[in-house]
Structures are given as C-alpha cells and as structure tokens.
Amino acid sequence: MLDQLKIGNILFLDIETVPTYPEYGAVPEKTKMLWERKASYIKKENETVEGTYERAGIFAEFGRIICISTGMIVLQDSGKVLRIKSFFAREEPALLFEFADMITRLSRKREIDLCAHNGKEFDFPYISRRLLINRIKLPDIFDTAGKRPWETRHIDTLELWKFGDHKHYTSLDLLTSVFGIESPKTDVDGSQVARIYWQDNDLSRIVEYCRHDVIALVQLILSFKGESLLRPEDIIILDP
C-alpha cells in the first residue's frame, strides 16, 4: 500500500472546528434541547450540560469549520516542494465554497487522494456534512454513497499505523515524536481552539496551528515511505 502511494497526487489536509455559538447561553432553545440529548451520552461524571458544550465543535451538527489547511507535494528537479494553502473565514460557507471549488478544479487535472490523520473518523465526514448543511455540492471525492471502502480515495495515517489493530489510537503528536519529526503543536492544542476563536478573536493563530498539522502529516507519510523529510526551505506558504 505505502509503495503504491503516489506522493504527488495526495492532497494533505487538516481542519479546525468550533461550537456554532460562543457559549451555551447563546444557543437557541430548540438547539439546547437537542444538545441536552447529545450531552447525556458524552458528559462525564459531575459534568454539567453547559460544561459539555465546549466540546460541541467536534460534532458537525453543533459545530462549524473555521479553517481547512491543505498541502500538496510538487516534484521538481531539485527535489520535493510542499505547497500549503489554507482556507479560513468567519463565514463558513465562504471557506467551504472555495475549498470545494479547489477540489473540483484539481480533480479535473489529475486523480487525487485525500490524506488526514484520523481523517476517516473526523475530517472527511465532518467536511462532507458541513458542505451539505451549507447546501454546497459535494465534490466527487467526498461522495462516498454506494462506494465500497476500497473505492474511496481516502488515506488515513491513523489507519495505516493501526496495521489492523482497531482498538489502537495514536495521536499525530505522538507519532511525530516517535519518528523524530518536529511536533505540530506550537503554543496551541485542540482544546484551546474554541477559546482562541471566540474569546481571543485570533483566527490567524488557529490557521498557523492548522498549517503545522499539515506539515507534520506530510512528514509522517514521507517517514512511512522511508523517504527523506522536507526541509524548511522546501515548504511554500501560499496564503496572503
């Protein structure tokens, strides 16, 4: 499988999500009722429904995407170059439309694969659900209806690392440490994203964090394939 991966045809991606509302008190009554049902399954002992809402961003029905960072490797005579582009906005439909348009245009030029860490459980279905909620047509690569698992062009580094061990979960941060790759975690971790977005109003900090995850993801696939890692000078950021 790893030998068959064409590194130049892979679109690496990572998403950052937040709860739809900045705090539980701002949630409409109907949505509160629905969240209470969801919270009954996920809340910890002695945790309030209000306390669970900070985790609402991980559910596509109660959260939204604020950033999608993507990366593709370009093979040049001088070696591999990683080009990174992030889609981010305060209005989710705008970033999703731009992202979907990019995927569609790219797919017309070549056959691509999507790659994310835990992507099959989180990133890919979350993007698909939010596209539908925002009434944006699913690019073909996200439309898995009626397809067999081996017919989808989705690569999940967590799944690759499991080697069939379905109970095993390993974070991207841990894998980068194991392989001697620079950690994707800067001064931010996933549990802080909602606060940084809603309270600090610092979307640019979240975009940088998301971008680092993509770089780590690319380096991990290169490590899996036994290829040399990218140097800082091999990475081009396309964001303005």
Distance of CA 211 to the CA centre of its chain: 10
Looking at residue 239, what is its pLDDT? 78
Per-residue tokens: 161: 């690392």
In the predicted model, is pLDDT for residue 145 greater than 80?
yes
Q: Residues of the chain with pLDDT > 90: what percent?
A: 76
What gap in Å lies between CA 195 and CA 102, rounded to an integer? Answer: 29
| Tens digit of each residue's pLDDT (9 = 90 or more) over 126-140 | 999 999 999 999 999
- Cα separation values, 32 from 29, 35, 52, 66, 119, Å: 5, 5, 12, 22, 28
Strands laid side by side in the 63-76 sheet: 154-156, 113-116, 10-19, 63-76, 79-88, 235-237
pTM of the complete model: 0.94
Looking at residue 186, what is its pLDDT? 65
| Residue 1: band (very low, low, confident or very high) from pLDDT cuts 50, 70, 90 | low
In the predicted model, is pLDDT for residue 185 greater than 70?
no
81: β partners: 74
Kindly state the average pLDDT of the residues 96-112.
93
The superfamily (CATH) of domain 2-20+62-237 is: Ribonuclease H-like superfamily/Ribonuclease H (3.30.420.10)
Q: Are 93 and 82 in contact (CB under 8 A)?
A: no
In the predicted model, is pLDDT for residue 182 greater than 90?
no
In the predicted model, is pLDDT for residue 218 greater than 90?
yes
Looking at residue 68, what is its pLDDT? 98
In the predicted model, is pLDDT for residue 45 greater than 80?
yes
Domain ranges of the chain: 2-20+62-237
Looking at residue 153, what is its pLDDT? 92
Looking at residue 4, what is its pLDDT? 76
Looking at residue 115, what is its pLDDT? 97
In the predicted model, is pLDDT for residue 212 greater than 80?
yes
- Kindly write down the DSSP assignment for every residue of 118-184, as one continuous string: TTTTTHHHHHHHHHHHTT-PPPGGG--TT--GGGS-EEEHHHHHHTT-TT----HHHHHHHTTPPPS
Q: Are 161 and 223 in contact (CB under 8 A)?
A: no
- Kindly write down the DSSP assignment for every residue of 171-215, as one continuous string: -HHHHHHHTTPPPS-SS--GGGHHHHHHTS--HHHHHHHHHHHHH
Looking at residue 159, what is its pLDDT? 94
Lowest mean pLDDT among 22-31, 70-79, 187-196, 228-237: 187-196
Q: Residues of the chain with pLDDT > 70: what percent?
A: 98
Task: Please count the other Cβ atoms lying within 10 Å of the Cβ belonging to residue 9.
Answer: 14
> Chain-wide mean pLDDT for the chain?
92
